[in-house]
């Protein structure tokens, strides 16, 4: 199976090194992880939002953007979610009815369903924040090839940051992982990819 970056940039995921967010203190940097040797399988999952359990299967018939991040992320997550929000705003009302976006927290120790709901509400009403136990989140992250780990921050009130892969996934209405976008992909490309999938291409 081939995974595509976007209609403009087509490539196999097997050749793509994940963008990785190195968040150290207040000066986050970017690095890359080694190239993935096996394409992630994606697939269904169930995690927890403020309004109750959320399953990917709940959104059959809708296109889903998926992102792994956390609410205390100083730079990478706000940028990615702002780009995603703009892409959603650029869709027509009819298109938007068929699209949802999910942010999975990679900081389940700090991010509660309630805090995630408040955080994502700043970006777009179609964005849902979910979390779970450390094990539940780890299982979903492995399924999608997402990587993350804590880094201690000396002298910081936060205590630690979470370095995490910073890609955005696009899942088809049939629940199939179709596109993987590196960090910094322009909103217009995300919008174009959504329309590409919604058109059945």
Domains in the chain, number = 1
What pLDDT was estimated at residue 157?
Answer: 65
Per-residue model confidence (pLDDT) at position 21: 39
Whole-Å CA distances, 189 to 6, 10, 79, 118, 174 = 7, 12, 15, 27, 21
Which structural domain, as residue segments, surrounds residue 147? 61-198
pLDDT digits (tens, 9 = 90+) for 30-50: 443 323 345 788 999 999 999
Nearest to 49 by CA among 109, 150, 147, 132: 132
> Is residue 178 assigned to a domain?
yes
CATH number of the domain within which 102 lies: 3.40.30.10
Residue 20 counted as domain residue: no
Indicate whether 157 belongs to any domain: yes
The predicted pLDDT at position 83 comes to: 97
pLDDT tens, 46-71? 999 999 999 999 999 999 999 999 99
Residue 56 has what DSSP assignment? G
Mean pLDDT confidence for 150-156: 77
12 domain residue, yes or no: no
Average pLDDT on 135-145 reads: 96
Reduced to 3 states, what is the DSSP secondary structure of residue 66? strand
Residue 51 resides in a domain? no
Judging by DSSP bridges, how do beta strands 17-22 and 177-181 pair with one another?
unpaired
Helix (H) or strand (E) holding 151: strand 148-152
CA within 13 Å, CB half, 158: 19
Per the model's pLDDT, the better-predicted residue between 168 and 12 turns out to be 168
Q: Quick check: is 145 in a domain?
A: yes
Is 133 part of any domain?
A: yes
């Amino acid at each position: 199976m081939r995974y595509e970056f976007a209609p403009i940039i087509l490539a196999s995921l097997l050749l793509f090194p994940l963008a990785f967010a190195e968040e150290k203190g207040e000066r986050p940097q970017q690095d890359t992880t080694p190239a993935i040797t096996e394409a992630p399988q994606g697939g269904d999952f169930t995690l927890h939002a403020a309004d109750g359990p959320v399953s990917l299967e709940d959104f059959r018939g809708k296109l889903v953007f998926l992102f792994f991040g956390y609410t205390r992320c100083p730079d990478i997550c706000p940028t990615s979610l702002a780009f995603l929000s703009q892409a959603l705003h650029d869709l027509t009302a009819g298109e938007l009815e068929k699209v949802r976006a999910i942010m999975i927290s990679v900081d389940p120790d700090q991010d509660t369903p309630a805090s995630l709901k408040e955080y994502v509400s700043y970006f777009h009403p179609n964005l849902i924040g979910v979390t779970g136990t450390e094990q539940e989140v780890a299982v979903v992250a492995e399924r999608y090839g997402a990587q993350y780990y804590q880094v201690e921050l000396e002298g910081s009130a936060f205590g630690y940051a979470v370095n995490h892969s910073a890609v955005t996934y696009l899942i088809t209405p049939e629940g199939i992982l179709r596109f993987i976008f590196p960090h910094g992909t322009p909103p217009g490309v995300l919008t174009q990819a959504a329309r590409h999938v919604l058109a059945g291409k």
